[in-house]
């Protein structure tokens, strides 16, 4: 399912929706780590989860600075992000990584849009671009690793 995150009219709504997206991503990473049979791959996924936790910390700071709502848990999309990983778990590690790659497609799109948001000040734009680079790196690794399995 394609994301609409990044199309918000205000920076406050953008930050709130990015927080939700990160919370959903963190839940999907936790499910992935539980389902993977390869501990080396699970270790790499844990390092990516740490990136998402760091993104969440920055977004929570941005929420405080901008007056945006900072949700404390994910939204309904979390069932989709974790559910497809759970289903893929029945087919092995490659399928799990392919399911996670589709989740990363959404975070790449969201941060790409966020970096171009008209209300992004230089500090927030720099963070959005760093997060975008992280998400692209995660997605590329998942795609490459899934194909190698």
Q: Residue 53 is part of which domain span?
A: 11-148
pLDDT at 73: 83
| DSSP state at residue 81 | H
Residue 76 is assigned to a structural domain of this protein: yes
Task: Write the CATH number for 144.
Answer: 1.20.1260.10
- Quick check: 71 and 19 in contact, CB under 8 A? yes
Domain count, the chain: 1
Residue 23 is assigned to a structural domain of this protein: yes
| DSSP state at residue 76 | T
d(CA 26, CA 130): 18
Residue 6 is assigned to a structural domain of this protein: no
Residue 3 is assigned to a structural domain of this protein: no
pLDDT at 81: 78
- Quick check: 60 and 7 in contact, CB under 8 A? no
d(CA 64, CA 58): 10
Residue 59 is assigned to a structural domain of this protein: yes
Joined together, the tokens standing for residue 136 give: 């692209």
Residue 15 is assigned to a structural domain of this protein: yes
- Quick check: 109 and 6 in contact, CB under 8 A? yes
- Rg of the Cα atoms in the chain: 15
Going residue by residue through the chain (149 aa), what tens digit of pLDDT does each one get? 589 999 999 999 999 999 999 999 999 999 999 999 999 999 999 999 999 999 999 999 999 999 999 999 877 777 777 878 888 878 899 999 999 999 999 999 999 999 999 999 999 999 999 999 999 999 999 999 999 99
d(CA 60, CA 1): 25
Residue with tokens 């760091």: 54
């Amino acid at each position: 399912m394609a994301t609409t995150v990044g199309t918000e009219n205000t920076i406050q709504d953008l930050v709130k929706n990015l927080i939700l997206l990160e919370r959903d991503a963190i839940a999907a990473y936790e499910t992935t780590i539980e389902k993977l049979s390869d501990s080396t791959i699970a270790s790499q996924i844990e390092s990516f989860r740490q990136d998402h936790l760091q993104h969440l910390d920055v977004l929570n700071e941005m929420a405080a600075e901008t007056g945006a709502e900072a949700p404390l848990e994910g939204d309904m999309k979390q069932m989709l992000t974790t559910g497809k990983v759970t289903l893929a778990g029945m087919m092995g590690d490659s399928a799990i990584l392919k399911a996670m790659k589709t989740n990363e497609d959404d975070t790449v799109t969201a941060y790409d849009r966020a970096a171009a948001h008209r209300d992004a000040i230089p500090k927030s734009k720099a963070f959005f671009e760093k997060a975008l680079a992280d998400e692209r790196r995660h997605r590329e690794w998942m795609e490459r690793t899934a194909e190698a399995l």
